């Protein structure tokens, strides 16, 4: 018993120390922000891949259908049609390069942009549905693979304080495979939840729109409840070099054992990121001052990502050491973490 009581408990993760370490790491290796800046410049100034004709065709086919739900009034249908036409006019397929759960942060991918400082960008309208699907899938795959490279780069900067390109290239292929498998698993899980939920919400809507809105709120709450334990599901792949399944397991244990601290950390990260995005979007898209916003966004998001890796490393170490101590007190066999 004396031996057990003499064990020193590990130091829990520190929020401010993690944030400071993340910003210091990126400031010392500022080259990492080149990748998110390059993506934003491509989406902003590059050719805009559109599916305008395909979207407008679907809208016209929907509006000309003989049986329109009585729940949709003429005004609601008209407003929805106008919004969809606006999206079709400005949506850039290159925005799909900003992928999740791993991807390059982008300020431009979150909005609809139709103008550039030099006038109007080059528009390429994809009218072949099969070609549009193939290009969309290709962009998503490229986003995940290049995003994996970016994550490995940020991990090195955050945890090692230096960049070793040879090590990045060596780990890139295996890491990308784990990320792709995890993204596919998340997509399947999302579809398994969303498809029956949407069918249920549409059925509930027959009894009134307020009830349908309440059901939609419950659906969003369910998604958030399921997503929170998976917030660090990719971090184990990059920090611990584990496979996707092990990374998911560690994320679930970590968020459970550090719930208050992790919740506060996520709120701080979201608050800083989303709050500063309002500042970065102040210059209009037709002004070259937008470049300042792109640089600021790239620096802050890269620093916050680096801080998340520092926090994950410290929190994961605390969790594993705590579990070892608990197992030793109960006389259970201790496995290496």
Three-class DSSP category at 288 = coil
Asked if residue 4 has pLDDT above 60, the reply is no
* Dist CA 229 CA 308 (whole Å): 15
Alpha carbons within 13 angstroms on the beta-carbon side of residue 293 total: 22
The pLDDT-based confidence of 63 (bands split at 50, 70, 90) is: low
Q: 13-22, 68-77, 234-243, 250-259 — which is least confidently predicted?
A: 68-77
For residue 186, give both structure tokens: 């998340």
The residue whose two tokens read 């000309």 is: 64
Residue 71 has pLDDT above 70, yes or no: no
Mean pLDDT of 98-112: 88
For residues 303 and 26, the answer to whether their CB atoms sit within 8 Å is yes
144-153, 197-206, 257-266: segment of lowest average pLDDT: 197-206
Per-residue pLDDT of 177-208, as tens digits, reads 999 999 999 999 999 988 888 888 878 777 77
- DSSP string computed for 164-176: -HHHHHHHHHHHH
Q: For the chain, what is the mean pLDDT?
A: 86
What percent of the chain has pLDDT above 90? 57
pLDDT at 29 over 80: yes
The β-bridge partners of 48 are 123
Instruction: Assign 9 to helix, strand or coil.
Output: coil
d(CA 33, CA 17) in angstroms, rounded, equals: 21
In angstroms, rounded to a whole number, what is the distance separating the alpha carbons of residues 71 and 64?
17
pLDDT band at 70 (very low <50, low <70, confident <90, very high): very low
Q: Would the pLDDT of 170 be above 60?
A: yes
Contact predicate 301/105, CB 8 Å? yes
Beta bridge partners of 124: 49
Separation of alpha carbons 104 and 33, rounded Å: 10
The overall longest dimension of the chain from CA atoms, in Å, is: 80
Q: Write out the E strands in the chain.
A: 48-50, 123-125
The torsion defined by the Cα of 35, 43, 194 and 127, in degrees rounded to 10, comes to -140
With bands split at pLDDT 50, 70 and 90, how would you rate the model's confidence at 109?
confident
Place of tokens 């993204």: 183
Judged against a pLDDT cut of 60, whether residue 5 lies above it is answered with no
List the single range of 114-118, 293-297, 304-308 with lowest mean pLDDT. Answer: 114-118
* Residue 264, both tokens: 């506060």
* pLDDT of 96 higher than 70: yes
Q: What is the pLDDT of residue 215?
A: 81
Q: Mean pLDDT, to the nearest integer, of 35-52?
A: 92
Of 86-100, 154-168, 230-244, 288-302, the least confident: 86-100
Q: Would you say 36 and 105 are in contact if contact means Cβ atoms under 8 Å apart?
A: yes
Cβ burial 110-145 (10 Å sphere, 16+ → b, else e):
eeebeebeeeebeeeebeeeeebeebeeebbeebbb
The structural domains of the chain, with segments of one domain joined by +, span: 15-51+91-329
Q: Model pTM?
A: 0.88
| Per-residue pLDDT at 182 | 95
pLDDT value of position 307:
97
pLDDT above 50 (res 25):
yes
Position 213 scores a pLDDT of 80
Residue 13 has pLDDT above 80, yes or no: yes
* Model confidence at 324: pLDDT above 70: yes
Share of the chain above pLDDT 70, in %: 86
Per the listing, tokens 């090590």 go with 167
Fill in the DSSP letter of residue 47.
-
Residues 82 and 8: their CA atoms lie apart, in Å, by 64
């Amino acid at each position: 018993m004396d031996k057990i009581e003499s064990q020193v408990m590990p130091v829990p993760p520190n929020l401010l120390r993690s944030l400071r370490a993340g910003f210091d790491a990126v400031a010392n290796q500022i080259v990492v922000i080149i990748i998110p800046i390059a993506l934003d410049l491509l989406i902003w100034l590059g050719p805009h891949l559109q599916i305008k004709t395909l979207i407008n065709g679907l809208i016209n086919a929907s509006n000309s259908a003989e049986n329109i739900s009585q729940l949709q009034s003429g005004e609601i249908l008209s407003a929805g049609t106008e919004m969809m036409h606006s999206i079709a006019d400005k949506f850039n397929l290159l925005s799909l390069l900003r992928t999740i759960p791993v991807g390059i942060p982008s300020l431009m991918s979150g909005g609809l942009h139709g103008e550039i400082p030099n006038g109007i960008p080059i528009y390429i309208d994809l009218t072949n549905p099969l070609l549009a699907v193939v290009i969309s899938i290709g962009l998503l795959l490229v986003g995940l693979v290049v995003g994996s490279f970016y994550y490995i780069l940020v991990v090195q900067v955050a945890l090692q304080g230096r960049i070793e390109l040879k090590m990045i290239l060596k780990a890139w292929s295996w890491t990308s495979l784990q990320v792709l498998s995890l993204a596919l698993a998340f997509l399947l899980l999302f579809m398994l939840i969303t498809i029956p939920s949407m069918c249920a919400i549409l059925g509930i809507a027959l009894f009134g729109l307020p009830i349908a809105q309440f059901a939609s709120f419950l659906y969003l709450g369910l998604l958030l409840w399921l997503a929170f334990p998976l917030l660090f599901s990719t971090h184990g792949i990059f920090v611990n070099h584990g496979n996707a399944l092990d990374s998911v397991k560690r994320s679930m244990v970590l968020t459970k054992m550090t719930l208050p601290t992790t919740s506060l950390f996520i709120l701080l990260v979201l608050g800083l990121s989303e709050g500063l995005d309002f500042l970065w979007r102040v210059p209009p898209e037709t002004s070259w001052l937008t470049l300042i916003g792109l640089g600021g966004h790239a620096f802050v998001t890269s620093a916050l990502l680096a801080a998340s890796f520092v926090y994950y490393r410290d929190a994961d170490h605390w969790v594993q050491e705590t579990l070892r101590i608990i197992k030793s007190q109960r006389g259970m066999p201790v496995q290496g973490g």
